Each structure stands twice: as C-alpha cells, then as structure tokens.
Amino acid sequence: MPEHTHIPRVAIVLLSYNSLPLVQKFLPLILETTPCDENHVVWLVDNASTDGTGEWVKANLPEVKIYTIKTNHGFTGGYSESLPHIPAKNYVLISSDIEVTPGWLEPGLELLESNSNVAAVQPKIMSFDRRDEFEYAGAAGGFIDFLGFPFCRGRLVNSVEKDRGQYNDSIEIFWASGACLFIKADLYHRSGGLDNDFFAHMEEIDLAWRLKNMGYKIMYQPKSKIFHMGGYVIQYGSPAKIFRNHRNNLIMLLKNGTGSKLWWKIPLRFGLDYIAFIKMLFDGNPKASFAVVKAHWQFLTMLPKWLKKREDVQELAIKNPNRYGICHKSLVFQFFALGKKTFPELKWDPAKQRC
C-alpha cells in the first residue's frame, strides 16, 4: 500500500451470510451512529449470500463499502479473507444480528486507543428479546476457568443475570465476544487473527488467549452498549453448536494452554464432556449427545494438525504471558455441585486469581 494512502481510524466490518432482513434492520442504525467520514468507514462483507444482501446494500446504502466473497467459509473465513483488504487502524467486527445504541462507538474506541497494551475491547452485550438481561454470548465480559470452560460476568453456563448496573465498571477481562469486537488492526493480523479451522464458536476466545499470551490486555467498556439477537445462524443447544463448542474448546486449550499441565487437563476435559454426553442421552437428546463424540473424534484424528498450530502459537507467546482472568477452580463444580448461578456468587477476584 502506498505511504500516502490514508488509513481510517476505524473500519466497522459487518459480516453477513443470507441475513438480508437483519441487514435491512440493523445496518442503517450503524450508519446513524457513525460519522461515516474518511476516518470512520463502514464495510459489509457479503459472505457468499444468495438472498441479494449485497445488491440491496449497494442500491440503498451507497456509503457502505462492500467486500464480496464467492464461497462461504464461515464466520472465521469471512473475516480472514476480507480483513487483509480493509485498511484501518482499528476494526470493529460486528455480527449482522446486532442492534447498536446511540453513542456506542466512541467509548469503545477511546478505551482501545487509551493504552498501547490494550489489544481489544468488548461492549456491554444485552439480549435483544429480553432487554433487561445480559446476552449469553459475552454479557459483561468473558473469563475462563483453568480447564478452559468460558463464562461471563452476567452469565454462568446457562444462567443469565438481569442488568441492574452491577457491571458498569470498565475492567480487564480474559476474552471479548466476537459478536461485537473492537480490536487493533495490527495486533489482529500479527496474532494470526481468527483461526479458520474453528469456522464458528470459540474463535474469539482463542484469539483473545493468543493476545494474552503475547502480553496484551482485553478490556470491557460498559459505556458502549449493544443488543444481540443470538443464535441466528446456529441455534443455541443445536447439535451443530454443541459439536463446534466441544471440538473448538479442546483445540483452543491445546493451542494456548500451559504445556506442562495439558497431559492431565485434556483427559479430564474428555471425562467431563462424557458426563455431559450421558446427561444429554437421559434428557432425550441423542443427536446432541453424539455431537460430543463427533467432536472428540475429530479432535483426536486431527491431533497432529492441532499440535502444529500449538507450535505456531507458542512462538508468539512471551516468557511471562498475561494470565489475568483465568479462574483456578472448576466452573463446572461451582455451578453444578455448589449451585452458584451468578458471577458474584463465585466470590472471585480476578486480580488475585482466586475463586
């Protein structure tokens, strides 16, 4: 790229696959709340849609730039193909099922730009259907336990809290939701971006863990507020989602976890997954249960590939990575055995690494 080419401050990149009704509903709101000048550019990545999404945007929202992909390679593939062609200092990666609110953009960007050590920022994510509740995918910022199980302030497992202002503090977190992700463009590319083998689910946690291993921070900004429909492409609880969550979580743990502890963590994870398998069978959901078996099979049969990815990721890691946000007790035990359903009940201070 020529040196004189202007690099925008931010590119808001909306990825869409056959979601024309959502684009028609939510993309105009993004334009209404964005300056849309040379420093703030809105892009639509049309991920091989067949419903006329690109054509509609071109005809009705000419200020939006369009990048068209001929073959759908999933959530991760859509970004990995398009972002190298989208110049910006910062990205806001946003799903088509996101409703933004007035003033959502600037607080997230200001926090992202406030410190060179901040790599990414997540806004407050609320449920589109239940407006006073946090949304499952991100809520008020993501964390993981020592076995790689993700959870959020505002959501433990399937228990979601109402927003009473209890998470209106801007804090460091472990991972930021891919539903609406503020991230520095150079760090996105330097870290390798979203892993294409994930296709969808857990890919943002994997990216965040990589950035943490490189020594960077992930932050939560409650002054940026959005609403997320959730489960639009792959429904929550569906066999496809269960497969990708279980498989991708194991890949993520192998790629990013401390090597000296993986010899016992991964077998333990297999055991806990098979407890979930048995529960799904007894609940009368055999398709979902066998999605777990499929996930394990693909993880094991492709193990050399995942180990090679680990080598590549570990080359990026610094000697003393940022482990802020890893809970050193089991979320599964806390939730299912002790009945702790909300984040405050964990009585855990992430800064002290105690649960």
Task: Calculate helix-pair angle for 203-213, 239-256, nearest 10 degrees.
Answer: 10
Q: Which CATH architecture fits 10-228?
A: Alpha-Beta Complex (3.90)
Sequence spans of domains, the chain: 10-228, 239-320
pLDDT attached to residue 237: 65
pLDDT tens digits, 295-324: 999 999 999 999 999 999 999 999 999 999
pLDDT attached to residue 284: 86
Q: Beta partners for 183? A: 91, 120
Cα(293)–Cα(8) distance, integer angstroms: 46
Cα(60)–Cα(128) distance, integer angstroms: 25
Q: Which two tokens stand for residue 145?
A: 């336990």
DSSP letter at 198? G
Cα(343)–Cα(159) distance, integer angstroms: 10
pLDDT attached to residue 73: 80
pLDDT attached to residue 354: 59
pTM of the model: 0.94
Q: Do the Cβ atoms of 262 and 146 come closer than 8 Å? A: no
pLDDT attached to residue 246: 94
Q: Which amino acid would we find at residue 166? A: Q
Task: Calculate helix-pair angle for 262-282, 286-301, nearest 10 degrees.
Answer: 160
Three-class DSSP category at 254: helix
pLDDT attached to residue 3: 54
pLDDT attached to residue 257: 95
Q: Do the Cβ atoms of 40 and 34 come closer than 8 Å? A: yes
DSSP letter at 197? G
Question: DSSP of 81-138, one letter per residue?
Answer: HHGGGS--SEEEEEETTEEE-TT-HHHHHHHHHS-TTEEEEEEEEEESSSTTBB-TTT
Question: DSSP of 301-329, one letter per residue?
Answer: HTHHHHHHHHHHHHHH--SS---TTEESS
Query: Is beta strand 90-95 parallel, antiparallel or unpaired with respect to 180-184?
Result: antiparallel
Nearest to 350 by CA among 213, 220, 192, 177: 220
pLDDT tens digits, 138-189: 999 999 999 999 999 999 999 999 999 999 999 999 999 999 999 999 999 9
Low-confidence ranges of the chain (pLDDT < 50): 1-2
Q: Do the Cβ atoms of 160 and 154 come closer than 8 Å? A: yes
